[in-house]
Each structure stands twice: as C-alpha cells, then as structure tokens.
Amino acid sequence: MNNQLQAFAYEYVAACLLDAYSSLLSKQAMILAMNSSFVDPLLQFEFQLTQVESSFKLLIAMPSLDEVKEVNNSSNDQEDLEVRCFFVLYQNVLNVFEDTLLILVSKDFYKLQILKDMAVWMSKDSSYLQERVMVIISRVLSFASRKVKSYTSVDAPCLGDLAAELSLLCSHSDLAITQQAALGMYHLLCIAKCQNGKNADIFKKDTMDMKSRSNSIMPSPSEMDFLPKILQRDKAKIAQHVGQSLIPSLLTDFVWSLLMKLSETNYKTASQASCMLKLTLEYHADKVTMVSKIVSTIYKKLCGNSTHIMNHAMLRVITLLTRTSPKKVIFQLMDYPVPADNTLILMWHAAGSEASVAPHVLKTLLLILKGKPGETQDSSTGGRRLSLDATNMMPVAASQALCMLLPVSSYRKAVAQFFPQLLMALILQVFYSRDLRLTANDRPFFARDALRILLKCSGLQEVDTALEEKDCWSQFSQVLYHHHGIYLVARTLSDYHFPQFPETLHYLYKLSVEDPRRSEDTVITVIFLTELLNNFFKDPFPEEFLILFRNWINDSNPSVSKLSLQKIASMAPVINEIENICSLILSILDAFLSKEKTVVIRALITLRKLLEKLDKVTYSSLCTRIASSYCPLMDHNHYNLNTFLSDSYGGIRTIAIQHFGELVKDMNQYMWMLTDVVFESLVSLILYLEDTELRVFNACKFTLEICASQFNWSTSYWLKDKNYNFEMIVLNICNNLVSDSSVFTTYISHGRYLTDLISHALGYLWSSRTYLRRGAVILTGYLVKLGGHSLLRVETEVMLEAIDQVLRDEDPLIRELAKITHKIFKEIAHGSTSSAVKQAFRRLFNFFYFKKLKLVYHYDETYAQIARLKEAKDAKSDKEGLTEENYEDFLSKDVKFVNALEQTSEEE
C-alpha cells in the first residue's frame, strides 16, 4: 500500500512539474516573441503582463519545495536518482519564470512594473505570498540594480508603488519573506539612487560585489550577510531611506499607495500602512507632490464609511502635510462649499493643530482674505479656478476657518503677531459681506464672527462689548452707513487705547504705500488710518502721513480723494506749521482736473480754507499758479456738458469765480503779479454775467466788482442790480482799459494780448448756450473796435471767417448782432495791413490818440424789439400769412431803424 502511495506521489509531482515546465516554456516563447520594437508598447506590455500573470499562477499552483523534499526523504536509494531529477526540474521551472522576467527587464526597466503587479497579486491573496516568489523578485531587482549602473537615465516609474508593497512585507511575520523583502527593497533603493543621480550606496559604505546568480534557489550566504539589517522590521529606518532615495514623484507614488492601503479590510495591513505612512511624512513630507489630490482623496474617504484607525491616520496625514505645504493644504480645504461640514471641520482642526505651523496657516488665510467674496472669476485668463462655483467664495471659507482656529491656544502667539493684518482683512470682509446679504440671507456672517473672536482673543473684550452696544455690525449691512461701521471700529479701538496701536499703525502705513488691490480697499484704509491718527496725534500729522494724504488727493477713487481733502481742510488752523505746504497746495490744484465733479468742488472748498489761514509770503508765491488754476473752471470748454448736468457744473463755475475774486482781494498788494491772470479770465467773467443761474451771475458780479476796485474801473454802477446793463458793462470795461495808462501800456500797445482776448471771446461763438454766443458777439465787436489797429490783415481775415459762420445762427438776435460785428470787422480789415512795420507805426499812433467807444448794439432795445416781433409773428402768422422771408425783411428794417437812431445820436 505504501509503495502504491509512493508511486502515486511520484507520478503527481512529476506530472505537475512537467506540466508547469512545458507551459512556462510555451508562455516564455510567446512573451519574448512580443518583445519587439515593432509592436505598440502599450499592447506589448498588456499582452506580456497577461502571460506573466498566467505563468505566475502556474508557478504558485505547482508543488512547493517542501513537498519535493518530502518525496526525496521518503524514497529509497534505488529511486534517489529519479527524485533528484524532480528537484532539478523544480529549479528549472523557477529559472524559466525568472529568466523571462530578467529578459524583459534587461530590455526595458519599465517592465519592473510587472514586479509591482506581482506584489499586488500577493497582497490580495495570501496564498500567493510564498518565499520562492519573493526570491525571484529580489533576484530580478538585484540584476536591475547592477545593470542600471551602465545607464545615464532610467525609466522606472513603478519604483514608488513597488517600494510601498515591499515596505509592508519587510514587517511580515515570516522571517524568510521579511529577509527577501528587505533584500529586494535594498536593490530597489539602489536603482532609485541611480535614477536620482546619486551613488548607489545608500548606506554610505562601499558595496560588495554580488556573486553571479547561482543555481541555488535561496540567496548565497555572502549576499545574505551583506543585507542591511536596518531594513528588516524597522519602519522608521525604512521610511528614512525611502524618503532619501526616491525622487519626489516616486515618493509621492509611495505615499499614495500607502494611503490607499488604509482602506484595506485587513486590519493588520491597514495598521502597518498607517504606521509607515506617518513615519515617511514625518521625515520627508516636503518632497511629496500632488498634495491637493491627497487632501481631496482624504476628504472623500472621511465622508464615507471609514474605520477609526483610518480616520486617525488620514487626519494625521493632513497635519504632517500642513507642516511643509501649508498653502497647498489650505487652498484645497478652501475648495469646498460654505459653510463647512463636519468632515471639513475635522480636517481644519487637523491642519491647524500644531503651533509651529500657525504662522504659515495664518499667512495663507490672509492671502485668501485679499479676495472679494462673490467676485466672478475670469475664465478667459486660462488660470486655475480656485473655487468650485463660478464666484469666489474662498474668503468666506477662510473667515469660517479663522472662527475655528483663532480660539485655539496654540495659535495665541501667532494671532498676536498678525493682529494688524487679521484686523484689517476681517474688516474688509465684513464690509464686503453686505453684498452677500442680498443673495444669501441664511449664510452665517463668518467675517463678523471671526472679527469678534479676534478682539476677544487679543484681550479686547471691552471693545467687542462697546461695538455691540453701538449696534456697529448692523451699520455694515446698510448701504448708507457701511462706512460708518468702519469708523465705529476705529474710534472704539482708539477710545479704549488698544495696546496693538503701534503695530496697527505701522501696518496701515505699509498698506497705504503699497499698490492698492481695489479702490474700495483704499477707502477703508483711509477711514481707519484717519480716525487712528485723529485720536493719537495732534494736527498736523507727521510728515510721513501727510505725504500719504497728499498722494490720495489725486487717487483714482473719488471717495479717497474727498476723504483726503476733507482731512486736509480740517488742518487749516495749523497749515503754516506744515513744512511742504507748497507741494500740498499744488496737489490740491491738480485735483481741479478731476473728471468727478464732487472731487473738484471738495478741492475748491479745501483750498479756500487753507488760503484763509496761509501766511502772506507763501500765499504770494503761489497766487499766480492758484489764480491760473481757477481760469479753466470758469471757461465753458473745461467740461463736456454732456457728461455733467448743467447745475452741477454751474456749482463748480460759481465756486471758482467766487474764490478767484476772493484771491484777488487777498492779494491786493500783489496785483502786479495777478494782472496777466485777471485779464486771462476777463472774457469768462463778462460773458457769464448773462448766465441764467443766479448764483453764477452773483459770483461774476462779485469778482468783477473786486477787479474794478483794484484797477480803478468805474464799472460798479452798472453792476448793481437796479442799474444792470450788459452792454454798458462791456463798453465801460473797454473804455477803462483805454483810460488806465498802465493797463493800456501792457495790453493795448502790445497787440498780442488784445488778440488773445478777441480769440478767447470768439471761442464762445461755438457754445451750446445762446446767451454766451450773444455776449461773445457783442464783446468781440467792442474789443475789435477798441484795438483793431493792432491786428494784422491775416488775423482779421481769420476772425472774420468765424463771424461769417455766426451770421447763419439759429437765433435771430444773434444773427442781427453778428451783422453789426461783421461790419466792424470789415471796417477794420479795410484799414489793416500785412506789413509788420506799417502795423507798428499804427500802434504807435494809436498809443497817443484814443477815442472812447460808444454804444453800438443797443442790445437791450434790440432784444426787446425782436421779442415783440416774435410774439407778433406767432400771433398773426396764420391770419396775415407772414412767411419766414417776410419776417426776416421786417426784422432787418427794424434793426436798420435802430442803427439810424444810433447814428443820429453820435452826430449830436
């Protein structure tokens, strides 16, 4: 019976070995046949991997070495030769499989991927985990580690995944498997070192020459002696050397594989993977890439059904990654909906659990808080979108994160360090939250809560209580009072003399000199800084801050400009104590050029307050520049009337004219400096007497009265309300120019000044306002009649062309007035010359002889007559059939009658 069983055992072992041997040879032939450069690499690898897997299963299914030895031990001497053949056949089967792998790896190191797949197969099925398989893996890695030395570059992307599998096997309960796994790990790290461009000796000692592969299945004694003992069941050493040897991409694969192992149902495997993962990140978290992907995967796994050990390990991974990559971790945690769920809150606490990373976490959150919540992301830029939805809600998420992190005791030192930055960032977010209220009424106000927590954590509980009593937080949500909420925060902090004032002031100054992120940010900075300075400094402010306010005068945001001008105006009582007062006033003058009407008005008011207190010496040095800056504001071409409403611009013109007169009055002792500017503005002052707005008329009358008193003109009589007559004012001013010898010498004997006055008046002929065109026609006529002798023929011809166009004006009165002016130009043109010499003699002659001007237009009578005629036309046109042509003829006759009266008056 025993003999029969023995025979059956022989036959079974022989059949299994022969079948495995033949099958492996067949599969080896097919595998090597596909190992050609003419085959698509992907198809080639997939086919070879399938065949290797089939061969692997044959290898696992054949009798073990122990079974072969048992047959050998139970045989007699006569059958010893046959049993030895079985043993040789067993070795040949293993050698065929090993040779197949060696050939594949020798051609392409990428095929080391097959070893990784073998390790995965063994991890999934414990029956596959056999010593003989581990021996083959270690031998192939040994061969690859020797061969890799002759290569300049190595393409082995699977090393990280394979290292993860071997690292777990290095702690296996079976010592034989542990030794083979450690040996394989050693050779793998040698390959990685070469791939990393370093010496293959990872343990800083000379490597021993490995013996060539013998026919024995187990490693040689010398190879086993060389095996570093530190790789056997010492997870810390393995983690250290893996991190040192693998390049960042491979180390990331190593970490990723271990992270996936945490989901294993096998508690022992998950526990070992957790331990190895944490140790690796303890030493080399800085080399791990794809941090965002890891954090995202952890979030998904924590949201699922995970075990306690898995949760603890994954949260620890978040903590360790935050040490070296706080920005990547924090930005990924921002990329989830607001408010945060319980899982995300756990991850936030894990990320901020260590005091050493607190400054880095707060810096990252401050960077995010620079954004404006609800601001639409520009997809056209092609940049990475940092939020899940189309609008940027990351600042809201950052505010919620601060609500969780600020109270943590480990953050106390970092919070004190970044108090100014956190304070201003959260105030901005509270300010921005007023817009979110309209679209998300149920959204918690995390920015407000975080700001209150910041105050409490910084020892400012009394400030928080006072703000609550003042109903400060509701101010931010009201459009009309949101800036008042900022004022309340700054004022309350100042009232309680908060100890962080020096650091806050320094940060505000730094924030002010940097380029602003948004214009509304600058508004808040100005309000906050101004209030702090008001409470801790007396006017005037230190020079460093005055420079800021001077620069803000011409800020692109009108609100900033007005706030700065308002503060500067309040410093009028101490204006003479400011060192660079001239540069400050010149900056205010530049604000006159602003396109925003409210800025111009504020600049005018501020300048006037300063000039009332400014010492006369400084005043006199600037008076000409200031007066010249008023002139464009009085001119009709300075603003586009389609841009501003007439009443708004009328306010600017009124203030400019009024302040110009006050300046002339203030500088009565320096009139010789202002004479040029006064005559530059004279045309505007005269023409705007006819403005339909009473405030403009009163301002012009006020300023002209001052100018008349300074130049001793007898114009005041006609400027009084009961005596007001526009044409008589024009006539009187022109005659006074003749009678005043000093003015006459400057402006009449030098024809270029008179030409400027006429050109300025002609410019009003294209105004959209009828009264300006009428006045310009009259003023031009008198100026030409006064000093036409100084005009060259070419100048007269150009001016005459301008009058010709007015002859076709839509207003009938302007057309008639233009005819008179046109006649005056014709008379002047008849006597003009193109010779500069002759013209000089004419000027010299007229210097000694002038004839006073008399009424030419009878403007009031003509205006009244035309008004009556227009009424008659409207009333009788239907009955009498009065045509447009008949009306023009009738009007012409009436004007001729008026001219006849004038001529008779002159003869008398």
Q: What is the pLDDT of residues 140-156, one digit of tens each?
A: 998 988 888 877 777 78
- Which of the pair, 745 or 128, is modelled with greater confidence? 128
Span 346-362, pLDDT tens digits: 999 999 888 999 999 99
Is pLDDT of 793 > 60? Answer: yes
Span 549-559, pLDDT tens digits: 999 999 888 99
**Sole residue written with tokens 């001077």:** 550
* Residue 894 pLDDT level (bands cut at 50, 70, 90): very low
Mean per-residue pLDDT, 567-575? 91
Q: What is the pLDDT of residue 259?
A: 92
Q: What is the pLDDT of residue 800?
A: 82
Q: What is the pLDDT of residue 614?
A: 93
Average pLDDT of the chain is 79
Span 295-317, pLDDT tens digits: 999 999 998 877 887 889 999 99
* Measured distance CA(467)–CA(460) in Å, rounded: 11
Mean per-residue pLDDT, 85-100? 81
Q: What is the pLDDT of residue 376?
A: 62
Percent of residues, the chain, with pLDDT higher than 70: 76
Residue 317: which residues within 8 A CB-CB, separation 6 or more? 259, 277, 278, 281, 294, 298
* Residue 587 pLDDT level (bands cut at 50, 70, 90): very high
Cα 344 to Cα 305, 333, 337, 348, 449: the distances in Å are 15, 7, 10, 6, 19
Burial class (CB within 10 angstroms; exposed 0-12, middle 13-18, buried 19+) of 740: middle
Question: Is the separation of the CB atoms in 398 and 368 below 8 Å?
Answer: yes
Alpha helices in 514-556 (DSSP H): 519-536, 543-552
Q: What is the pLDDT of residue 426?
A: 93
Q: What is the pLDDT of residue 213?
A: 39
Mean per-residue pLDDT, 675-694? 90
* Residue 784 pLDDT level (bands cut at 50, 70, 90): confident
Residue 425: which residues within 8 A CB-CB, separation 6 or more? 366, 369, 370
Residue 259: which residues within 8 A CB-CB, separation 6 or more? 273, 277, 294, 297, 298, 314, 317
* Measured distance CA(632)–CA(494) in Å, rounded: 43
Span 1-31, pLDDT tens digits: 455 555 555 566 677 777 877 888 888 888 8
Best-predicted range by mean pLDDT (69-78, 615-624, 730-739, 753-762): 615-624
Percent of residues, the chain, with pLDDT higher than 90: 28
pTM metric for this prediction: 0.75
Mean per-residue pLDDT, 516-520? 74
Is pLDDT of 275 > 80? Answer: yes
Span 396-423, pLDDT tens digits: 899 999 999 999 988 999 999 999 999 9
Question: Is the separation of the CB atoms in 432 and 395 below 8 Å?
Answer: yes
Question: Is the separation of the CB atoms in 398 and 365 below 8 Å?
Answer: yes
Q: Of the given ranges (136-145, 166-175, 321-330, 431-440), which has the lowest mean pLDDT?
A: 431-440
Cα 854 to Cα 734, 761, 902: the distances in Å are 10, 20, 9
